Structure 1
């Protein structure tokens, strides 16, 4: 485990998956991350790369060759190297190798950087195409925040506050993990979503094309909460395991296959194309209060 801290907050990251496991406000002595109970959901904040969500039949096709990839890709299970480390920042790195090329035929470097500034943690995804051909990929976050945050509060005391009034439906997820064709109302001329465990009885809320690039987790009965900024992420997931004491706020550059997907990687909804030697960077930030 690697720890970084400043005067306000401390973060702990596991080099396996470069996964954030703890984020503590030192003055409040308050942990913001889900504890990762394996009986409920044994993760804390897995990185989703080189796909987000589920592929149709867990396969995609590239240049007439079929490849198998499990849900959310392989990075979350990889041992990352520590490329650089300071008191308040750390950068992790994986590179393509013989095994990755069997399931993802692109030559790459993937860096995950954690940086603390005051009460904020910035999480940077940096994908470099080190090959000679165009590269196609998705990347995203899956951080799970403890709920309820403060003592003597309930899950239902919290809500999500979007920075823009939204007219955004949820896109249901099929039993196979694919995005269905018919959206359902969830945010209708509002910037507030009350949190209940019933919201997640039918899997995640998948949102497309939000006007907002900031979402806050707040409550009217406690000043404790957090704000996530996610500019440049066109998809967003909100999820919890059934009846679990957490909520995941998930900024995505990519999305699961639709039920009617043709499985061609270059046609995949939300896929990112990165030309040779170019670098793709996205940053989401969580600020705790």
Structure 2
């Protein structure tokens, strides 16, 4: 049975669903929504958890030791009930472990904990992946939160900017109609450290940064409050919306879709993490509501 779990501080409140351990709401001290509400007119997602793959694999198929398994885009974590294993007023931890159902599509033993903590004006999300099996665990992981665009602080939608912590001159990547990575990089739409998001940018789906210099950014409009997004241990980033939608997804990733033409083993897939037996790996993202206006 799906439950909604609430956590809070005096600056933020959040609601998380046990289905997918998905953040369902994020609100400021006045109750204003910072997260997309899943309106099906645009997109039913809010902040899905991507595991054990990010994006699509060719023909929805992975190969493990020569055996083919069907695995849908972004994996199964977002559509699976998680166990609530810890809860306080400001913190909640959810757990997903391998099962007969997961091993039918991904034949590995694992434990994945996702801990949500609110401290002051910051929501942190820390995922810990444990390899509880006896062989290497090949996996990817991604966050996929949809932030309100515009944010509820009076800035016009077309005035919003994504300001990276460092200049981002490297080319970006795009996916094809099957969701696979095209081989040729494309010029970045980032000018210096600043991206001016526009619906036209997303006619060709997500903007994918696989040579990212920054591990932090700010989203908002000048002279209004903005959001700082930190992702210190996530090497890739996707930015996406359905063109014209009132949200912008800022998605720190560790991994990405299959390249066009890839038909190899999951463990050899570009961008895959190979976690040795008995070891753990952490993935972290934080969203902080600014107390001052952006300049």
TM-score by length of 1: 0.96
Question: Please, which moves more after superposition, 165-174 or 183-192?
Answer: 183-192
User: Aligned residue for 2:225?
Assistant: 224
CA distance in 2, matches of 1:189, 1:160: 10
- Say whether residues 1:7 and 2:10 are aligned partners: yes
Structure 1 residue 29, shift from structure 2 partner: 3.2
Aligned to 1:90: 92
Residue 165 of structure 1 aligns to a residue whose secondary structure is coil
Does residue 22 (structure 1) correspond to residue 49 (structure 2)? The answer is no
Q: Distance in 1 between matches of 2:188 and 2:254?
A: 21
Tell me how far apart the structure 2 counterparts of residues 188 and 107 of structure 1 sit (CA, whole Å): 40
**How far has the Cα of 1:189 moved from its partner?**
6.0
Map 1:152-171 onto structure 2 (within 5 A): 152-171=154-173
Distance 2:190 2:251 in 1: 20
Does the residue aligned with 1:99 lie in a helix, a strand or coil?
Answer: helix
2: distance between equivalents of 1:23 and 1:90? 14
Matches within 5 A, 1:107-118: 107-118=109-120
Could you list the per-position Cα deviations for residues 150-196 of structure 1 after superposition, in whole angstroms to 9, with x for gaps in the alignment?
Answer: 35433211000000011122211100000001111124661000111
Distance 1:123 1:285 in 2: 6
- 1:176 paired residue number: 178
- Aligned equivalent of 1:193, options 192, 195, 198: 195
Runs of 4+ in structure 1 off by over 6 angstroms are none
Give 1 or 2: higher strand fraction.
1
- Where does 1:1-289 land on structure 2 (aligned, <5 Å)? 1-26=4-29, 28-150=30-152, 152-187=154-189, 190-220=192-222, 222-289=223-290
TM-score after normalising by structure 2? 0.95
List runs of 5+ in structure 2 lacking aligned partners: 291-295
**Conserved? CA contact 2:153–2:225, under 8 Å:** no
SS of structure 1 residue aligned to 2:201: helix
- The CA RMSD measured in Å over matched residues stands at 1.2
Structure 2 residue matching 1:199: 3-state secondary structure: helix
Paired residues of 1:155 and 1:195 also in contact (CA < 8 A):
no
- Deviation of 1:213 (Å): 0.5
Contact preservation (8 Å) 1:155, 1:196:
no
Cα deviation per residue 1:37-78 (whole Å; 9 max; x = unaligned)?
Answer: 112100100000000000011111111111110000000001
**Can you list the C-alpha shifts for 1:7-40, whole angstroms capped at 9, x where unaligned?**
11100001100000111111x4321000111121
Structure 1 residues 188 and 81: alpha-carbon distance in aligned structure 2, compared to 1, 3 A threshold: closer
Distance 1:41 1:287 in 2: 24
